[in-house]
Each structure stands twice: as C-alpha cells, then as structure tokens.
Amino acid sequence: MAFQNNELDLLYLREQFAPVALPNNQLNPALVKQGVTLNRITDPDINYTYINTTDPAFGGFTKEKIALRRAIWMSFDNAEYIRVIRKGQAIEAQYPIPPNVLGHDPAYRSVAPYDPVLANKLLDYFGYKRGSDGYRTWPDGTPLVWRYSSTPSSRDREIDELWQKSTERIGIRIQVAKNKFPEELKQERACQLLSRTAAWIADYPDGDDFMQLFYGPNSHQNNSSCFQLAEWDRIYEKTRSMPDSPERNRLYRQLWRMVEVNGVTKMHDTRYRNMLVQPQVVGYKKHPILLAEWMYFDMDGSRRQP
C-alpha cells in the first residue's frame, strides 16, 4: 500500500505478493499506469534439500543407501515447488553454482530428475519392499521412516506438504520435526539433523563459495550434509588455487556429479529478485551482489507521479 501511494521509491517484491503485482509474470497495468517499472535479476543463491551422509540409517555409501537417497530426490517435483512456494518467481536449479556466478554451467542436467516411476523401480530393485499398508520397509523388514526438519513458518509448512506428497509417491513414510531456526542450525552443525531444506546466497560471486558447501572439513560448519569423501576433497583442494578457467569448470562439474551420484543433495531453485521502481528513481539497475546499494541511487523529484 505504501508503494502504491508513492511513499516508497523502491520495493523488493516478496514472492507471496507476485500474483498481485506480476499477474502472468507481467507488471500489473495499474502499476504501469503509475510509471512503475520492474527490474529483475536472478539472485546468486541456491535452495536445496540435503540428507546427512553420516546418519546411521540413511547415510553411508553402499549401493542400497545411495539408491534410497536418489529415489527420494526423484520423487520431488521442482516445477511444483516453484509454482506453489515461489509463485513462479524462480528458475529450477540443476547445478550448485547459480547463474551470473563464476563457474556456473548452464548446460548441466541432473542425474536425478523428477521421475517417480524410476524412483519406485530403484527402491524395488534394492529390496525396499512395500508392506500391506503400502509403505516401504528396510530390506530387513523394519519400517522405513524418513526424518525431515523444518521451522514452524507458514512457508515451511507448505514445503512439508510437498515433501509428504512426494514421499507418498514412492511409499516412504515421512516424519516432520518442527524446530526454531537457531535450534535447527545447532543440530545441523553437530551433524544431528537427517534432512532439511536450506539456502545459500553468495558471499562473493565465485563458484568456490558454493562448492565449499560439500567440502569434508567444512562439516560442522557450512557442509550441512556432513558429506566426506577423500577423493572429492582432494579434487576440491586442487580447485582452490586455480583461477576461473575451463579446467576449473571441468573439475567443478566432476565434483558436482560425484555429489549427485552419491545422492547427497537435491537442488531446487534459484530465486528471482524483483524490484519495483518508481519513476523518480533514475537509471536504476539492481546490483547482482550488493544489497546495501541505496547510496548509489539518483533521484529526480520532478518525475514523481502525483
């Protein structure tokens, strides 16, 4: 309301308001009439769900555990996630380094796309049988329950529902634990959480800032999945002394393929940052990294609409 009354010069449009301000991804005609313009970029961020690879039940690198994790990822529909959670204000992420960050690979395609039919076949093959109630068990016959953690926010409740819908597709029970974010973070850094949907936004626009999320020694810090693989760490350490180059990009691709093949993480999306701009703001262009940018704006009061 304050923006519509021209009491604000700029507005970061939150995704929940996109259906009103950007119907069909076009600026609302009423805003256009006021002289408002839209400046949109993709944020240098990723949103993803991980599984703790040190967990006694779901962790480890045996074929049957890797198959289980990959099946869970293949049950989830990113297109639905973007439609329901982001209100269409995101693009699907296939790669851990987002667009406009050095090292991004626009040609990469996930080895675990949305495919519940294949996910079910994978679980059948590795002995995760359905019981009489339709839910799967571990190969030894005990109930299989995936533990997922999220906050009490309304957005996270919607994500919970999507994961419940996803695991139903493959016959896996899900148990959702609710915690405030600081408590989640505390458990995560102790490698005590099994799974959570998380986000990372660039501290600096280089692929290293994203690849370090899977570096073994960063467990108990930024490596939420507590993923530790000696070969992965060795290759990553090599990239740290390399400049941006085709060779480093090749190694990044190899590293991410190893993460995906082992079923560690499911990439979801990279968000749009939609900025609504009043006509009195001159020549505005959203900075791709800097958030505190107001000191660089030019204003022309004569262009202000009544």
* Structure confidence at residue 3 (pLDDT): 82
Supply angle C-alpha 186, 255, 82, rounded to 5.
Answer: 65
Q: Sort strands 265-277 and 173-178 into parallel, antiparallel or unpaired.
A: unpaired
SS3 233: helix
Q: Sort strands 45-51 and 195-201 into parallel, antiparallel or unpaired.
A: antiparallel
- For the structural domain made of 45-271, what CATH number should be given? 3.10.105.10
Q: Give which of 176, 263, 192 is closest to 224, Cα–Cα.
A: 192
Q: What tokens were used for 215? A: 């570096």
* Structure confidence at residue 4 (pLDDT): 80
List Cβ neighbours of 157 (8 Å cut-off, separation of 6 or more). 150
**Model confidence at 219, in pLDDT bands (50, 70, 90)?**
very high
Provide the mean pLDDT of the chain: 95
Q: What are the extents of the domains in the chain?
A: 10-40+273-303, 45-271
pLDDT for residue 306 is more than 80: no
* Structure confidence at residue 111 (pLDDT): 95
**How is 66-112 classified by DSSP, letter by letter?**
HHHHHHHHHT--HHHHHHHTSTT-EEE--SSSPTTSBT--TT---SS
Chain segment 246-299, per-residue pLDDT in tens = 999 999 999 999 999 999 999 999 999 999 999 999 988 898 888 778 788 888
CB of 211 within 8 A of CB of 255?
A: yes
Give the HSE-up count for residue 84: Cα atoms under 13 Å, Cβ half-sphere.
18
pLDDT for residue 8 is more than 90: no
Chain segment 121-157, per-residue pLDDT in tens = 999 999 999 999 999 999 999 999 999 999 999 999 9
DSSP type of residue 145: E
Chain segment 45-81, per-residue pLDDT in tens = 999 999 999 999 999 999 999 999 999 999 999 999 9
pLDDT for residue 202 is more than 80: yes
CA-based Rg of the chain, rounded to a whole angstrom? Answer: 22
CB count within 10 Å of CB 238 equals 12
* Structure confidence at residue 255 (pLDDT): 99
- CA–CA separation, 130 and 286 (whole Å): 51
Q: Give which of 32, 36, 11 is closest to 304, Cα–Cα.
A: 36
**Model confidence at 100, in pLDDT bands (50, 70, 90)?**
very high
* Structure confidence at residue 184 (pLDDT): 97
Q: Give which of 117, 111, 193, 196 is closest to 153, Cα–Cα.
A: 196
CB of 210 within 8 A of CB of 202?
A: yes
pLDDT for residue 302 is more than 90: no
- Return the higher-pLDDT residue of 34 and 305: 34
The verdict on pTM exceeding 0.85 is yes
- CA–CA separation, 37 and 14 (whole Å): 16
CB of 202 within 8 A of CB of 209?
A: yes
CA 176 to chain CA centroid, Å, is 19
For the stretch 271-301, what's the b/e string if a residue is b when 16 or more beta carbons lie within 10 angstroms of its beta carbon?
A: bbbbbbbbbbbeebebeeeeeeeeeeeeeee
* Structure confidence at residue 110 (pLDDT): 97
- CA–CA separation, 121 and 127 (whole Å): 10
**Model confidence at 7, in pLDDT bands (50, 70, 90)?**
confident
Stretch 181-193: mean pLDDT, rounded? 97
